[in-house]
Amino acid sequence: MSGLTHLDEEGSARMVDVGAKMVTARQAVAQGRITMSRDAAAAIRAGSVQKGDVLAVARVAGIMAAKKTSDLIPLCHPLPLSKVEIDLALDEAGVTATATAATAGQTGVEMEALTAVSATLLTVYDMAKALDKRMVIGDIRLIAKTGGKSGDWHA
């Protein structure tokens, strides 16, 4: 039909068959940001947010989300992740989240890294929304991937 990998000959959605692909080490890094008021950022830094340790809970949420990506994104393959790492950088205007996901598999982990960043930032919002309902989540993007047939890529 269109040459798109997730469509069959009739144009219906399908999960791509990766069975014939070689197993290779794959890694993806994604990043995103949530901006907020200075007061909300200061409360996160001070550990005074009523719901608890915002960054610790957000980090765990990101890891959990990466592991559940195939349950959330309909055509993603379930992958045995060997690594999910969430780095959080808090500054006076918000939090930048960077997620790294890795596997040895037949398909990449870009969606796992992107899902991890998204859930991490959504959790920051949930934990701190009583302090600032105007927080903005954005700039979620893939910044690097390694492995697989298409090789390495960096933004």
Q: Which residues of 99-131 are buried (b: 16+ CB within 10 A; e: fewer)?
A: bbbbbebbbbbbbbbbbbbbbbbbbbbebbeeb
| CA dist 125 → 37, 44, 66, 154 (Å) | 12, 11, 18, 28
Through-space distance between the first and last CA atoms of the chain, rounded to whole angstroms: 31
Q: Confidence class of residue 24 from pLDDT cuts 50, 70 and 90?
A: confident
Q: Which residues are annotated as a binding site for substrate?
A: 75-77, 111-112
Q: Which residues are annotated as a binding site?
A: 75-77, 111-112
In the residue annotation, 71 being an active-site residue is answered as: no
Q: Where are the domains of the chain?
A: 30-154
Alpha-carbon gap, residue 121 to 98, rounded angstroms: 10
pLDDT tens readout for residues 41-83 = 999 999 999 999 999 999 999 999 999 999 999 889 999 999 9
Q: Class of the 30-154 domain?
A: alpha beta
Which position among 8, 17, 71, 126 bears the catalytic label? 126
